[in-house]
Amino acid sequence: MSELRDRVICIVGASSGIGRATAVECARAGMHVAVAARRLDRLESLAQEVESRGGSALPVACDVQSDEDVAALFERCMERFGRLDAVIANAGYGHEGSVIELSDEALRSIFEVNFFGTVRVAREAVRVFRRQNRGHLLITSSCLSRFTLPYFAAYSATKAAQTQVGRSLRLELAGEGIEVSVIHPITTTTEFFDAAADASGEARRGVPAHAPRLFVQPPERVARAIVRCLRRPRAEVWTSHITRLVAGAMVAFPRFHDFCMRREVALRAARLSADALEATPEVAAENAPS
């Protein structure tokens, strides 16, 4: 089991949610933390919280869609700390809606951030790790990399791609002293669903009301699981054993997946119908029984 005190970690996508919670948890473990995202103001407040817990912090504005930004991030990490023990590729966002109706631009955009952004971070991380002959790359994927929800096909596809890259890199880099782990959170109480609603033009905010409470977790739970993985690296981290078993069953038995997800289709149709009626109350009045 690895001691984390005075180790250095870079978390990309740290301005909120899982990334932010992980930065705080790493600071509690005694790590020095570089935090990166597009929203520098949030990173600066996070850096203050990290330093209040005894660690050093480096906030860096970074857009994972930019090769230059990602390269500059790693240069600044090495200039500040002189070493880099772990990197978490956590930047990403969701989109709700049928892939048939999604524009090419929107589809390319989500892959550019979630998938190609992860690859950019991984490439730069591995360059550093190879010079050091050690390092740990962690990729935040999702339980939806194993199965998908209706209307989340684009997001699930990016997560499946991340997972396959991570699993392949783990084998490719095993002989070089470099660990690779893939994280599979379930529904998490973060800004994810608000951002997905914004990207999709939906009015609904927050975690869907119909999401079973058993399958909803706070980001701090994911963060603690990540820190355990930093101490004892493993191929995959699942924050819900039940979801992992269900995912395996859905892959093995596609009809079981269909059975489970038909309810999601019906619920979405009912919600959209209710939203439409709420937006046009005069239509509801006209159609009301006399």
C-alpha to C-alpha distances, 196 to 68, 192, 199, 203, 257, nearest whole angstrom: 27, 6, 5, 10, 23
Query: Annotated catalytic residue: which of 81, 155, 193, 238?
Result: 155
**Tally of CB atoms within 10 A around 289:** 3
151 included as an active-site residue: no
3-state DSSP call for residue 129?
helix
C-alpha to C-alpha distances, 20 to 41, 50, 93, nearest whole angstrom: 13, 10, 15
**Helix crossing, 219-231 with 17-28: angle to 10°?**
50
**Tally of CB atoms within 10 A around 172:** 12
Contact 65, 88 (CB under 8 A): no
Q: Which residues are catalytic?
A: 155
